[in-house]
Amino acid sequence: MEWTRGDLLGLEELDRAEIEMILDTAASFKEISSRPVKKVPTLRGRTIVLFFFEPSTRTRSSFELAAKRLSADSLNISTSTSALSKGETIKDTLRNIEAMQVDIIVIRHSSSGIPWALSRLVAPAIINAGDGCHEHPTQALLDMFTIKEKLGKIEGVNVTILGDIAHSRVARSNIWGLRKMGANVTVCGPRTLLPRDIEKMGVIVTDNLKDGLKNADVVNVLRIQRERQKAGLLPSLREYAQRFGISSEKLRQFARKDLLIMHPGPTNPGVEITPEVAESKTSVILEQVTNGVAVRMAVLYLVAQARDETKEEE
Amino acid sequence: MDRILLKNGQMVCPAGGIDEIRDLLIEKGKIVKTGKNLKAESARTIDASGKLVLPGFIDMHVHLREPGFEHKETIESGARAAVKGGFTSVCCMPNTEPVIDNQGIVELVATRAREAGLASVYCIGAITRGRKGKELSDIGELKAAGVLALSDDGSEVLNSELLRRAMEYASTFGLFIISHCEDPWLAAGGSVNEGAVSTRLGLGGIPRVAETVMVSRDIALAAYLGAKIHIAHISCAESVDMVRAAKKAGVKVTCECAPHHMFLTEEAVLGYNTNTKVNPPLRTEADRQAVLSGLLDNTIDCVATDHAPHAEMEKDVEYDNAPFGVTGLETAVGLMFTELVDRKIITVSRLAEKMSLNPARILGLNRGTLKEGSVADITVIDPKAEWAVRVEDFVSLSKNSPFIDRKLKGKAVMTIVEGKIVYEEKD
């Protein structure tokens, strides 16, 4: 098996062997981060631009460290401008960055589909760090990496994704990835946060927390944005916490003891998850963050390598 | 030249029940004679053998953008697109800037259309002043200025009482309402049909009920008042069912559908091409089939393109920020012939009904027929011409078609408006 993709746009378009290859590569990179000298020369001389149109600390830092640990040069561009017709601006900015001879552009944007449009437009590799409510492939990869590390496998594992499925790119990428890897996926939340026809993505749908947790080996708790309340999708965050928030009490009642607790972060303590659960023994939230660096190193490495091979052939 | 003789074309006129090879003589803007072996001295004689000679097509729903948005389209460029696409008459919607809600703007459009000298361009006047949904436009004045119907297209008149009064008042002047059925709260934040595709792509959904609740309300009002209503760009199976039932019950409702709702589904959105962003959105295969069935069983009276040009820079943005709308004037005929006539789903005569006779009847226009004595609005079609939709071939100022690269069979090769050849395909 050889990695041939010069971009990483989403998990929908990857097949199982490709996902396995990223996870295996990440496993071999993970060790680097535990060395006293956390650096290998793999991508020395490459330039990676981190282009974030939405505020992000975690994903951006994770990509930046991944780039640095591979000895690549990285440039951060963060802007939260979200005015209309900025499509023109993005294109223009991207073309300018391209003209500076960069190799990889990691992009986050609030509009679904942007990485696809840009990959058709510019030559450098595009890595999607989250587009609108669509995909967040590296997050799902690190989630799967963590599941595999903890449970030894992904095939046959019961994963419940809990919360705002409708607006979550983490949920969508996880559904694509986990389904391809043979996991059973349940999505759970109030009906206002479950998008129409979600079952067509091959998941079990429930609005009952008890049913959602009953058979779960893993629960991936999504962050609840305060805007959802303003949009009238939730009466109050308090009510959400009562009905769908994960607490020790609810876990005792509904879930198996060793249920793996995951969260893409940052958490809203006391809303979708209590601090007690977030910090409990079965919570792997911080390990997800650790694994994120390894997974992103793997993605940067594979994409860069595929680009080199294409160039050599030319 | 005053006289034109079209020789040996297959003349199809649903109003006259004609579908045979005939010659057709045009004199002083009128069809003076049809029949076999016509001869006319000093007439330009055109060999139409192998071609279809049809009553000129009428598109009762276009956006020509002038005044206000001349970078998207002008009356002249829109009329040019119309005649190239085989349309002899178009009705432009009032969502211009300023809005077509008074005599002055109607006259401006008429003047520009006359200067262009291409298609006949009629106005649909705004129901409410500025299309704001607050107070009625001067409907009597609009009627006197020549508008054929009223619509706040692009918006629904949300205040049901106001719409009721509009329907009553309009009927006083022999006008009817064209309803843009959309509940803006249900549609808010949406870009595409709500369902499997919106969920998969992470795009905001426009639920079908955003349309159906308003179709239901508008039919109820029309039924109660005994007034005439026309439902624009119908897109959902449930809407088609409601119109069918209403017609059966004797409600004076008519409706139109657009080619993109007949020949595309939401699947076209995969890939985020903003030229697939249109309102109402492309729906499911079941809806597409329902719209087609509705057209076939006469629930849907006519085809209208909802030609909605936008400049490339406006469409070339994020999907959720892109404006709604697709162009249609230059692709409709090719699509109808390729998808429906060539596949023997409808006859040429039925097509002429849907694209010429019925819109003429709905609008009260004395057109849509090839009977002797009628206005010489004629579309000549080469049903065998194979072509592909190419960006560079559009004469509209805008190129935002979802059908780019589609291979088609059948096109207009000559368009005659009031006896004047306004479009002729160059070999």
Question: pLDDT digits over A107-149, tens only?
Answer: 999 999 999 999 998 999 999 999 999 999 999 999 999 999 9
Within-domain flag for A1: no
Q: Are B199 and A196 in contact (CB under 8 A)?
A: yes
Q: Is residue A7 part of a domain?
A: no
Please tell me the predicted confidence (pLDDT) of residue B1: 57
d(CA A176, CA A159): 12
Is residue A261 domain-shared with residue A205, that is, in the same domain? Answer: yes
Give the count of alpha carbons within 13 A of B157, CB side only.
29
Q: How does the average pLDDT of chain A come out, rounded?
A: 93
Q: Looking at chain B, which residues constitute the CATH 3.20.20.140 domain(s)?
A: 56-363
In a domain, residue A11? The reply is no
- Confidence at A81, pLDDT banded by 50, 70, 90: low
How far apart are alpha carbons B375 and A126 in whole angstroms? 59
What percent of chain A lies above the pLDDT cut of 90?
A: 83
Give the strand pairing for A104-109 and A125-131. parallel
Residue B245 has pLDDT above 60, yes or no: yes
Paired with B13 in beta bridges are B18
pLDDT in tens, B95-153: 999 999 999 999 999 999 999 999 999 999 999 999 999 999 999 999 999 999 999 99
CATH assignment at residue A153:
3.40.50.1370
Residue of A250, A156, A182, A175 whose CA lies nearest to A212:
A250
Per CATH, which fold does B3-52+374-424 belong to? Answer: Urease, subunit C; domain 1 (2.30.40)
User: For residues A299 and A88, which has the higher predicted lDDT (pLDDT)?
Assistant: A299
> Which structural domain range is residue A169 located in?
137-286
- Tell me which residue in A91, A111, A196 faces B194 most closely, judged by beta carbons: A196
Higher pLDDT, B351 or A90: B351
Beta-sheet pairing, A73-78 with A104-109: unpaired
Q: Are A191 and A228 members of one domain?
A: yes
Distance CA B270, CA B286 (A): 18
pLDDT above 70 as % of chain B: 100
pLDDT at position A103 over 60 = yes
A114/B202 Cβ within 8 A: no
For chain A, what is the domain count? 2
What pLDDT score was predicted for residue B282? 98
Residues A169 and A93 both lie in one domain: no
A216 & A256 share domain: yes
> A179 and chain B: CB distance < 8 Å anywhere?
no
- Yes or no, beta carbons of A91 and B316 under 8 Å apart: yes
The residue type of A28 is S
Predicted confidence (pLDDT) at residue A87 exceeds the cutoff of 80: no
Query: Please, which pLDDT band fits residue A226 given cuts at 50, 70 and 90?
Result: confident
Share of chain B above pLDDT 90, in %: 97
Is B317–A88 a contact, with Cβ atoms under 8 angstroms apart?
Answer: yes
Q: Are A135 and B317 in contact (CB < 8 Å)?
A: no
Q: Are residues A80 and A99 in the same domain?
A: yes
Conformational region of residue B50, where left means phi above 0, alpha means psi within -120 to 50, and beta covers everything else: left
A313 band by pLDDT with thresholds 50, 70 and 90 = low
Q: How many pairs of residues across A and B have Cβ atoms under 8 Å apart?
A: 72
Contacts of B125 (CB under 8 A, 6+ apart): B94, B100, B101, B106, B137, B139, B142, B143, B145, B147, B149, B150, B151, B175
- Do B202 and A133 make contact, defined as CB atoms within 8 angstroms? yes
Q: A114 vs chain B: nearest CA distance in angstroms?
A: 6
Q: Which residues of B touch A196 (CB under 8 A)?
A: 194-196, 198-199, 205, 207
Predicted local distance difference test score (pLDDT) of residue A94: 87
The catalytic residue among B218, B306, B377, B382 is B306
Listed in order, the ranges of chain B carrying CATH 2.30.40.10 are 3-52+374-424
* Chain A residue numbers touching B205 (CB-CB < 8 A): 195-196
pLDDT at A223 over 50: yes
Q: Which residue has the higher pLDDT, A80 or B258?
A: B258
Residue B320: its chain A contacts at CB < 8 A? 111-112, 132
Which residues, including other chains, have CB under 8 Å from residue B42's CB and lie 6 or more apart? B3
Is the pLDDT assigned to residue A312 strictly greater than 80? no
Cβ neighbour number for residue B162 with a 10 Å cutoff? 16
Residue B191: closest C-alpha in chain A: A112
Same domain, A205 and A117: no
A69 in the same domain as A21: yes
In the predicted model, what is the mean pLDDT of residues B412-422? 98
Are B321 and A135 a contacting pair at CB < 8 A?
no
**CATH 3.20.20.140 matches B56-363:** yes
Residue B426's pLDDT is what?
84
> Are residues A300 and A278 part of one domain?
no
The model's pLDDT over B161-198, given as tens digits with 9 standing for 90+, comes to 999 999 999 999 999 999 999 999 999 999 999 999 99
Clarify whether residues A122 and A24 are in a common domain.
yes
pLDDT at B200: 97
Residues B211/B280, Cβ–Cβ less than 8 Å? yes
- Decide the pairing of beta strands B18-27 and B3-13: antiparallel
Chain B from 105 to 134: CB within 8 A of any A CB: none
The reply to whether A81 touches chain B by the CB within 8 Å rule is: no
The distance of B381 to chain A (nearest Cα, Å) reads: 38
For residue A157, the SS3 value is coil
Residues of B in contact with A112 (CB under 8 A): 201-203, 272, 319-320
User: Which amino acid, B248?
Assistant: K
Residue A8 in domain: no
pLDDT bucket at A79, cuts 50 / 70 / 90? confident
Residue A82 pLDDT exceeds 60: no
- Give SS3 for B157: coil
A232 touching B (Cβ < 8 Å): no
User: What pTM does this model have?
Assistant: 0.94
A164 contacts in B (CB within 8 Å)? none
Q: Is B218 annotated in the active site?
A: no
Least confident of A76-80, A162-166, B157-161: A76-80
**Neighboring chain A residues of B206 at a CB cutoff of 8 Å:** none
A202 touches chain B (CB under 8 A): no
**Is residue A4 situated within a structural domain?**
no
CA nearest to B322 within chain A: A85
Distance from CA of B207 to the nearest CA of A (A): 9
Q: Residue B427: its pLDDT value, please?
A: 64
Task: Report the chain B residue with the minimal C-alpha distance to residue A200.
Answer: B196
Q: How far is CA B228 from CA A65, B252, B258, B419, in A?
A: 67, 5, 21, 32
Higher pLDDT, B62 or A314: B62
Find, among B146, B128, B124, B147, the residue nearest to B138 by Cα. Answer: B128
Judgement on whether residues A23 and A81 belong to the same structural domain of the protein: yes
The pLDDT of residue B25 is above 80: yes
Smallest CA-to-CA distance from B279 within B328, B333, B324 is with B324
Chain B hits for A195, Cβ within 8 Å: 198-199, 205
| Residues A176 and A229 placed together within one structural domain of the fold | yes
Q: Which residue of B has its CA nearest to A83?
A: B321
Q: Does A13 touch chain B (CB under 8 A)?
A: no
Nearest CA in chain B to A132: B202
B200 touches chain A (CB under 8 A): yes
Q: Are residues A150 and A269 in the same domain?
A: yes
Nearest to B319 among A85, A113, A135 (CB): A113
